[in-house]
Amino acid sequence: MHAEERDPLGTEFLTAVYEVPGPETEARARAERICLDQTIEADANLLAPALRAKILGRLEQIQPLAAGRYEATIRYAGDLVGKDHSDLLNLVFGTSSLRSDVRLLSFTLTPTLLSSWGGPRYGLVGLRQAVGVSNRPLVCAVLKPLGCSPKTLAELAAQFVRGGADLIKDDQALLDQPFCPFNERVARCAEAIAGTSVQRGRHCLYFAHVSGALDSMRQRAGEAKRLGATGLLVAPGVTGFDGLRALAVDETLAVPIASHPTFLGTCVSHEGRGLAPAVAYALLPRLAGADMTIYPSFDVGYTMSEEDCLSVAVNCRQPWAHIMPTMPAVGGRIGVDRIRELTTALGQDVVFILGSRIQQNQVGVVTAIDEFQRALTKSLT
């Protein structure tokens, strides 16, 4: 392009990378179809040539992957991106999500477009500073099972802290049920966690689950902070990523936010369609402002390979302009027996989620978490 020529797509743009099946001629045709689907969703002749050059996505590159698959890189004009997560998702994978042969692998934005997104308020570094741990993976215990009273959950929370948990979160099934009212649960658990943390001499964050309709979620988030919660748990698969973002940018809240993967599994596919795990569990929550993002570990019964599990962690932590790294958090019946395997694969900047398995240990919750922490420390030496 000569210096006097201007790119019709402009200097600000979004680049998305898709996976499509081959052979190459068919892969290229599918990529060109994505360019149409994700912009005008009609025949290109509907637009005048000058407008077509500004609006349609542009295929930048196509290259082979393994097993007859191809990677297609498509560029979209910055004017099409919008300001919300819903706008972004509609542009990068709206109509194409209805196809059986397209998978979204990743996306990037030019710096000016990215500047309107704040990302995490605290991020990986901020979480470590909050709990006073800098040199090992963090441990997060889960308040469950559903059906327990607020008093029972508060007693369990205190045991978690005594055992050495760095973070505690509500189970995503805990909402505002008659047997466990939201305000009472959060108040009791926050008090138990704060008091026991003082006794042990180290802070423990408590993420209260607040997912719901936007008005309800904002109300619950405000109540949770007032009642002593030091973090919020949001499930963007049911609330939408803009719901998470609305809480992340709220200056009256200003607490760490954890993203839970419930229902996001419907968007993730490992069969050549849907969202790649790195998009669903890393890029989208990180952009929305999640300080920690929870997702399944590999080899625990969920559809998650070790390669995809690692790709999520990498996309949570790698440099991304001003967007701070998000702390990846893996769950799925994790016990002492998997510590070395997981730390070898994922490194030290990760959270291990301890759920029902830790409560089933015959030595008791306090001793079981303490033993997990000791084994974790030993595995790093």
In SS3 terms, 30-41 reads as HHHHHHHHCCCC
Q: Calculate Rg over the CA atoms of the chain.
A: 22
Q: Is the pLDDT of residue 1 over 70?
A: no
**What's the sign of the alpha-carbon dihedral 192, 197, 198, 203?**
negative
Q: How far apart are CA 261 and CA 144, in angstroms?
A: 17
Q: Is the pLDDT of residue 74 over 90?
A: yes
CATH class for domain 13-114? Answer: alpha beta
CATH number of the structural domain 123-379? 3.20.20.110
Average of per-residue pLDDT values in the chain: 94
Q: Is the pLDDT of residue 318 over 50?
A: yes
234 is written with which tokens? 């949001």
DSSP state letter for 362:
T
Residue 20: exposure state from Cβ atoms within 10 A (0-12, 13-18, ≥19): buried
For the packed helices 306-317 and 339-346, what is the interaxial angle rounded to 10 degrees? 50
Average pLDDT over residues 51-75: 92
DSSP state letter for 279:
I
Q: How far apart are CA 45 and CA 325, in angstroms?
A: 43
Amino acid (1-letter code) at residue 380: L
Distances (CA, A) of 61 to 10, 208, 213, 284, 304: 18, 44, 41, 23, 28
Q: Higher-confidence residue: 259 or 272?
A: 259
Q: Whole-prediction pTM value? A: 0.95
Confidence of residue 5 (pLDDT cuts 50, 70, 90): low
Distances (CA, A) of 329 to 37, 60, 78, 187, 284: 34, 34, 32, 25, 15
**What's the sign of the alpha-carbon dihedral 359, 202, 128, 226?**
positive
Q: How far apart are CA 286 and CA 326, in angstroms?
A: 6
Asked if 293 and 310 count as a contact pair (C-beta separation under 8 A), the reply is no
All CATH 3.20.20.110 domain ranges in the chain, comma separated: 123-379
Per-residue pLDDT tens over the stretch 86-136: 999 999 999 999 999 999 999 999 999 999 999 999 999 999 999 999 999
Q: Which residues pair with 170 in a beta bridge?
A: 143
SS (H, E, C) 50-61: HHHHHHCCEEEE
Per-residue pLDDT tens over the stretch 200-241: 999 999 999 999 999 999 999 999 999 999 999 999 999 999
Confidence of residue 289 (pLDDT cuts 50, 70, 90): very high
Residue with tokens 């599994």: 265
Q: Is the pLDDT of residue 57 over 90?
A: yes
All CATH 3.30.70.150 domain ranges in the chain, comma separated: 13-114
Strands 138-143 and 327-331: unpaired
Q: What is the pLDDT of residue 2?
A: 45
146 is written with which tokens? 């559903």
* Range from 40-49, 115-124, 225-234, 272-281 carrying the lowest mean pLDDT: 40-49
Q: Which residues pair with 169 in a beta bridge?
A: 142, 207
Q: What is the pLDDT of residue 26?
A: 97
